[in-house]
Structure 1
Amino acid sequence: MDTKTEKSAATRQRIQNAALQLFLRDGYRATTMRAIAAESGLSLGNAYYHFASKEDLVHGLARALVDDQVRAARPRLRSGNNLQDNIQVVLDAALDAVAPFHGFGPVLIRSAISRDDEAAAASKAREFALWRQAVGASLPRPPAAIRDDLPELLWLAQRGLVIFWAYDSSADGIRSRRLAANIASLMARLAVLSRLPVVRHIIDDVIGVVRNVERVDRA
């Protein structure tokens, strides 16, 4: 990374840090780009050079949290862990990544879900790759009937978990942590039961519905 690129990255991080402080202190709606620029010690034009809007700032944060989750989870996905343990590792890493930002959790989650561009697609691809690693490292291996679709199903479960977290008012997000443990147990059992045709058909229907919705969103 050359000096110019390093300087730009440092400035972007400076703006993001200032925005986070203001979002948590004053709320997302009350925070303006002018306030963010002032908090970061930059001109408004400089702030806009790096981020088109405060929405763009939140999109960047959402992508960074995916990177944090991946970095935390990958070393813990040891070959030989059972599937439930590996699911728990990835879900816990997701909750750890978002935990400091509960003050504007709904805004953050809405941003992550609504964005549909190349950067969002790249973040989703990293999440899928993490779930494929979690499934591939598990022993005994999940049944072949569900193995290829299981990462996508787990990704959907994670998305439901973080939406729950965004509105979880329990101390330290304890209800979200309990839900993560329950999801890990349930999904591991579901993988075993996928050998039964009726369960496999239900799984296919769920994934099919989600894929159809995504195609409509992109149309």
Structure 2
Amino acid sequence: MSAHGDAAAPHGSTGTKAERTRELLADTALRMFRAHGYDATTMRGIAREAGVTTGNAYYHFAGKDAFVHELYRRVVIEHRVRTQSALIAGGSLADNLRRALTIGVEVMAPYHSFGSTLLGTALRMDSETSPFSAASRSPRTDAVALMREVVDASARVPGGRPGERLPELLWLAYMGVTLFWVLDSSPDTRRTALLIDGAAPLVGRMVSLARIPIGRSLAADAIDLMDRVRTAGALREGQE
């Protein structure tokens, strides 16, 4: 398919010429990833398919890994938009979380065939494509904000510090589901669907414990641990 084929049309038609070129390159790369896989797709091939020079492609994206980061950004945006319309105001946290997790997997579904490659890219120590990297701060903030919307839409969620930090903890749970999904080779990733259906009520029950003294203590311990890990990571980044 040439650069003038229907699938190579830019994701958005507004913005400056540079912005349109960047969108065109991203759309082309992600389409080629889906069609041919990550390893078989090259920067030269992306540039040729998009109808730009290879140098121009590298001007907008440093390499294929940069397209992975763009994919993460787009997935978060679509996930958030679709989930917002699916949440039930006053519903249970378990039901709203299940909806959010299910939609997240649905949004990622077209890229499952090269999910292990994406995982390998994201897990490299020097990778900016990792959801935990400094370069991913913006989409990570949006993803946590999505979980805040899940919490806000749900009834009987804890207040105070546990309630304040709950969205971040739910995002970490979503990262766990994503890892399971990447490695899930069952037909139509059915095992991931089973995991979500079972985990969402379990998380809901665990969160409800934060409304009683012993549960609040456990929640505080979990938050303290998360903060210690985060601080250690920030110190490491500052030393590099």
Q: Specify the TM-score bucket, using the shorter chain as the normaliser.
A: 0.7 to 0.9
**Within 1, Cα distance between the matches of 2:147 and 2:99?**
10
Q: CA shift at 1:9, angstroms?
A: 3.4
**Within 2, Cα distance between the matches of 1:108 and 1:16?**
16
**Equivalences for 1:109-188 in 2 at 5 Å?**
109=119, 110=122, 111-117=129-135, 120-139=136-155, 141-144=156-159, 146-188=162-204
Q: TM-score, normalised by structure 2?
A: 0.80
- SS in structure 1 opposite 2:52? coil
**Larger helix fraction of residues:** 1
CA contact (8 A) 2:43 2:64 kept: yes
**Within 2, Cα distance between the matches of 1:99 and 1:114?**
21
**Equivalences for 1:57-136 in 2 at 5 Å?**
57-109=67-119, 110=122, 111-117=129-135, 120-136=136-152
**Within 1, Cα distance between the matches of 2:221 and 2:108?**
30
The superposition leaves residues 118-174 of structure 1 with CA deviations (integer Å, 9 ceiling, x where unpaired) of: xx21111111211111111212x2132532222121111101000111111011111
| Contiguous gaps of at least 5 residues in structure 2 | 1-12, 123-128, 236-240
Of the structure 1 ranges 31-40 and 49-58, higher mean CA displacement relative to structure 2 is found in 31-40
**Within 2, Cα distance between the matches of 1:148 and 1:114?**
20
- Cα pair distance change 1:99/1:17, threshold 3 Å: same
Of the structure 1 ranges 20-29 and 52-61, higher mean CA displacement relative to structure 2 is found in 20-29
Q: How many residues align?
A: 214
Match status 1:193 vs 2:193 = no
Matched letter for residue 78 of structure 2:
D
**Within 1, Cα distance between the matches of 2:144 and 2:131?**
15
CA contact (8 A) 1:131 1:154 kept: yes
**Within 2, Cα distance between the matches of 1:27 and 1:173?**
18
Q: CA shift at 1:56, angstroms?
A: 0.9
CA contact (8 A) 1:37 1:44 kept: yes
Match status 1:208 vs 2:224 = yes
Q: CA shift at 1:26, angstroms?
A: 4.1
Matched letter for residue 115 of structure 1:
S
Matched with 2:60 is 50
**Identity percentage of aligned residues:** 36
**Within 2, Cα distance between the matches of 1:90 and 1:143?**
19
Q: TM-score, normalised by structure 1?
A: 0.87
- Given the alignment, which residue of 36, 39, 43 partners 2:46? 36
**Within 1, Cα distance between the matches of 2:46 and 2:132?**
23
Measured on the aligned residues, the alpha-carbon RMSD in Å equals: 2.1
- Cα pair distance change 1:116/1:35, threshold 3 Å: same
**Within 1, Cα distance between the matches of 2:91 and 2:69?**
33
